[in-house]
Amino acid sequence: MEILNQWAFIGIFAVMAPIFPALPILIAWVLRPSKPNVLKSQTYECGVETVGDTWVQFRVQYYIYGLVFLVFDVEMVLLFPWAVAYNRLDFFAFAAGLLFIFLLFDGLLYAWRKGVLVWR
Amino acid sequence: MEFNAITLAFIVFSLVTLGGGIGVVTCINLFRGTIWLMVSLFGMAGLFILLSAPFLAAVQVLVYIGAIAILFTFAVMLTRSITHLPVRFTRLWANAFAAGAFFVLLVAGVIYPVWVVNDAVHFPVSDVTRTTADLGVALVSGNGFVLPFEVASLLLTAAMIGAIVIARDVDDEL
Amino acid sequence: MDCPGLCEALVQGGANPGLAQFLSLFVGVVLVSGIPLVTVIVLILVERKVAARIQDRIGPNRVGPFGSLQTFADLLKLLTKEDITPTAADRLLYNAAPLVSFASVVLIWAVIPYTPYHFGADLEIGALYFVAVASLGTLAIMTAGWASNNKYALLGAFRVVALLVSYEIPLVFALMVPIMLAGTLNMLDIIYAQSSMWFVFMAPLAMLLFAISSQAETGRAPFDLIEAESELVAGFNIEYSGMKFGMFFAAEFMHVFTNAILLTIFFFGGWLGPLWNEPLIAFAWLGLKASLIYFVFLWVRNTVPRLRIDQVMRFNWFFLVPVSIGNLLLTALLLKLMQELGLAPRVLQTATLGEVLPMTLVLLLANLGIIALILGRLRTTGRSERLATGGGAGSMAVAAGD
């Protein structure tokens, strides 16, 4: 129960956390002037009228960054338990973690060689 | 079953999970669909906490909401119709029926062995405590899961290389 | 912090035990979150004063003594500003984004131990919780940029998100070093593990990597592409005005100080210092160390020029990521060797200074060696790039055309 009590704290905190910024926004909603007009509510692009759709196809480069990050993210998640257990591990178990990092490093080397991590 | 704070939390998290799921399939705007998926996965993280698996809950938030969501939004921006999916995807009744039947089968398969056959299976929620350090020892010790652990690393590397190969070809055509 | 005294008092007063528990937790939440919310008001003034001094100005000095009421004046102004929502925006997500952005920073404070006895939640996975919650902020920025339905905002959000996720990798690999040394993810235990020696002496390189990448995570100079006024008008928050913009702004300020606190906890011993058993003194130690680190962050922000996006990405993927992985590998290898030889204790929380000293010396020397190696290598590559292009500006062209 003690553990869940800690998480109950986090739960209440998570509900409260968006309320803190919502309060000033609500107060401002009461206080502020609101005189919208067509020109004012247009998309702001330095005064030029906006052309075409914003939500268009983007370049694949962003996707590659996202993907490489995802691979590293999963690796980090698997390494966290290893790092926590580090002091209790014998040398063999410890080396297993090193091998894990080495294998992932290969992937990074490949990405380097192919030049996909260079911003274009 | 008595009604207490844990039951209430379970109901809330289940509703969040299911509601998010419904949002994903009914949204014709792909980006909003992604956000709904994250709501659903957030509810799942809550369920993990109720199961006394806080590590998995944090992983759920870190990997799915932190990384997969970003990847999805980047992927959504690679598609052509982001805000209006073509209507033809909405009338595949046969597929819907097959998927629904499979879902019922899965749910029955999970619930039946635990609930109906043996109702003595009743774990008190927070009695099973395994720490993250135990998980770490299990992952890398020789009589634990060291082989799957290394295979996972290979799999991740393969995923990265595969993605780079596929994506680069697309990039060269542009 | 669930205020056990309050809970018991309420039960004795005749309240429902469940309700009493909830109320005591609720009061705890308000107390714990009150600290960052009050701090951010002070920080805005401090930041402006420090920036002004570095730029040889006076800074705000009109409202109140030494301009101390300036922030409140600004707050009043923001409250009365008109809030324009563009017609093209996705209203629901547009309004939700600033809330999530702010919440993702406040939520980190739930696991920060203010003193040995006062903290929000004492989670077993505290450090991982911080990483997980901080990653919510990235999603908020993405949502803000997308929901604005503005090309500048979307492009800005995409670039910023690519930057933020990239810098999360060295951040976490650097964080892995103190976790490995302490053998736990619990924030309190990480601090207790430093009771005989701060981790900054065992892993100075990890500390630098953590500081650099957390500076990038907050989007401060030299990584302030989040703002990028000169390139993308204002980046992802261009369509936001009034209080909603204010919330993004406040979240950024709070994030910088949060990072200073986390750096203190992971590397500078948190509230450890003479007489830390006294809660008030412990709190003062934490505040003092965090403020000094915060000052260094401000100093860097106001003296280093902004980098271009390709330079920033190159710096991350070709420098920070390999260095942070190499640092983790080397530290792990050295420490394990020393543990096997019996030169290093396996449990730092109870180790004495004499037991910790040999491993500290070896790790410190190894770290300094790597730092010297890196600096030497940076010098030679920098020199050759300058020679190849003839001039400082040209080296940037090499960075872009690599």
Q: What is the pLDDT of residues A19-46, one digit of tens each?
A: 888 888 888 888 888 777 777 777 777 6
Binary contact (A85, B174; C-beta < 8 A): no
Tokens of C327: 């640092």
Q: Write the residue in C132, C143, C183 that is nearest to B58 by C-beta.
A: C132
Contact C151 A27 (CB under 8 A): no
Domain limits for position C73? 1-9+17-80
Which helix or strand (DSSP H or E) is residue C363 part of?
helix C353-389
- Asked if the structure places residue C351 within a domain, the reply is yes
Q: Are residues C219 and C321 in the same domain?
A: yes
Q: How many CB pairs under 8 A join A and C?
A: 215
Beta bridge partners of residue C146, listed in sequence order: none
CA distance B37 to A22: 23
The reported pLDDT for the residue numbered B115 is 66
At A66-106, the pLDDT tens digits run 888 888 888 888 888 888 888 888 888 888 888 888 888 88
3-state SS assignment for residue C119? strand
Which chains share 3+ C-beta pairs under 8 angstroms with C?
A, B
Q: How confident is the model at residue B19 (pLDDT cuts 50, 70, 90)?
A: very high
In the prediction, which pLDDT does B121 show? 53
Instruction: Flag whether C392 is in a domain.
Output: no
- Give Cβ neighbours of residue C90 (< 8 Å, ≥ 6 apart): B29, B31, B32, C146, C147, C149
Report pLDDT for A47. 66
CA distances from C355 to A11, C351, C359 (A): 41, 6, 8
- Helices marked H in C80-150 — which ranges? 91-106, 126-147
Same domain, residue pair C46 and C193: no
Measured in angstroms, the CA of A110 and the nearest CA of chain C are apart by: 12
**CA distance linking residue B59 with residue C60, whole number of Å:** 44
| Single-letter residue type at B59 | V
C338 part of a folded domain: yes
CB contact under 8 A, C179 and A83: yes
Say whether both C21 and C121 belong to one domain: no
Contacts of C123 in chain A (CB under 8 A): 6-7, 10
Mutate to test the interface with B, among C25, C133, C135 (most CBs of B within 10 A): C135
- In the block, residue with structure tokens 């004046």: C73
- CB pair distance less than 8 Å for C158 and A58: yes
Who among C128, C131, C161 is closest to B70 (CB)?
C161
Average pLDDT, chain B: 79
Query: Which residues have C-beta within 8 Å of that of residue C31, sequence separation ≥ 6?
Result: C1
Distance CA C272, CA C193 (A): 10
DSSP C255-323: HHHHHHHHHHHHHS-TT-STTTTSHHHHHHHHHHHHHHHHHHHHHHHHHSPPPPHHHHHHHIIIIIHHH
State in Å, rounded, how far the first CA of chain C is from the last one: 53
B149 closest CB neighbour out of A55, A59, A78: A78
Which chain B residues are closer than 8 Å to A104 by Cβ? 153, 156-157
pLDDT reported for residue B88: 57
Q: How far is CA C251 from each of CA C112, C138, C222, rounded to the nearest angstrom? A: 17, 12, 19
From the DSSP assignment, how many helices (H) and strands (E) are in chain A? 4, 0
Which carries the bigger pLDDT value, residue B20 or residue B88?
Answer: B20
Q: Would you say the pTM of this structure is higher than 0.80?
A: yes
Q: For residue B50, which phi and psi values (nearest 5 degrees)?
A: -65, -30
* DSSP per-residue string spanning A51-93: -S-SS----HHHHHHHHHHHHHHHHHHHHHHHHHHGGG--HHH
- Is B131 close to C124, i.e. CB distance below 8 A? yes
Give the gap in angstroms from C-alpha B24 to the nearest C-alpha of chain C.
15
Task: Indicate the class that CATH gives domain B1-88.
Answer: mainly alpha
Element (H, E) at C23: helix C17-54
Q: Where are the domains of chain B?
A: 1-88, 92-126, 130-174
Helix (H) or strand (E) holding C244, with range, is helix C242-267
CB C324 within 8 A of CB C176: no
The answer, yes or no, to whether the previous bond of C222 is cis (omega within 30 of 0) is yes
CB spacing of B150 vs A80 below 8 angstroms:
no
Give the one of B46, B125, B164 whose C-beta lies nearest to A114's C-beta: B164
Do A94 and C332 lie within an 8 Å CB cutoff? Answer: yes
Nearest in space to A46 (alpha carbons), one of C309, C229, C144, C88: C229
Residues C54 and C151 reside in one and the same domain: no
pLDDT tens digits for range B114-170:
666 555 555 554 455 567 788 888 888 777 788 888 888 888 888 888 888 877 655
C50 plus C145 within the same structural domain: no
- C356 and C266 housed in the same domain: yes
The tokens of C98 are what? 């600033």
Cβ contact C90:C147 at 8 Å: yes
Q: Which residues of C touch A10 (CB under 8 A)?
A: 107, 110, 120-121, 123, 129
Note whether C49 and C161 are same-domain residues. Answer: no
Amino acid C402: pLDDT: 38
Q: Determine the residue among C99, C136, C169, C172 to mutate to test chain B binding: the one whose Cβ has the most chain B Cβ atoms within 10 Å.
A: C136
Provide the number of structural domains found in chain C.
Answer: 2
Closest in B35, B59, B132 to C185, CB measured: B132
Which pLDDT score is estimated for B174?
42
Q: Do A28 and C81 touch (CB under 8 A)?
A: yes
Cα–Cα distance for residue pair C355/C360, rounded to 1 Å: 9
My answer on whether C99 and C185 are in the same domain is yes
ipTM summary value: 0.87
A partners (3+ CB pairs within 8 A) are B, C
Regions of chain C where pLDDT drops below 50: 1-2, 394-402
Query: C339 and A80: CB-CB below 8 Å?
Result: no
Across the interface, of A1, A82, A107, the residue whose CB is closest to B156 is A107
* Nearest Cβ partner for C102 among A21, A31, A112: A21
Q: C113 by DSSP, 3-state: which?
A: strand
User: Residue C361 falls within a domain, yes or no?
Assistant: yes
Q: What is the pLDDT of residue A13?
A: 87
Query: Hey, what are B35's tokens?
Result: 């956000």
Q: What pLDDT is attached to residue B17?
A: 93
Cα distance between residue C188 and residue C286, in whole Å: 13
Q: Is the dihedral of CA B162, B165, B168, B173 positive or negative?
A: negative
Who contacts C171 (Cβ-Cβ below 8 Å, separation ≥6)? C131, C209, C210, C213, C214, C217
User: Is residue C271 a part of any domain in this protein?
Assistant: yes
* Chain A partners within 8 Å of C78 (Cβ): 24, 28
DSSP-based helix, strand, coil % in chain C, nearest 5: 75, 0, 25
Whether residues C39 and C126 share a domain: the answer is no
Q: Kindly identify which residue of chain C lies nearest to residue A82, measuring between CA atoms.
A: C180
Q: Is B105 on the interface with A (CB under 8 A)?
A: no
CA distances from A96 to B137, B146, B153, C333 (A): 11, 7, 11, 12
Do C89 and C147 touch, CB atoms closer than 8 A? Answer: yes
User: Would C154 be classed as within a structural domain?
Assistant: yes
Is A28 within 8 Å of C79 (Cβ atoms)? yes
Contact at CB, B32 and C93, closer than 8 angstroms:
yes
C108 with C47, same domain?
Answer: no
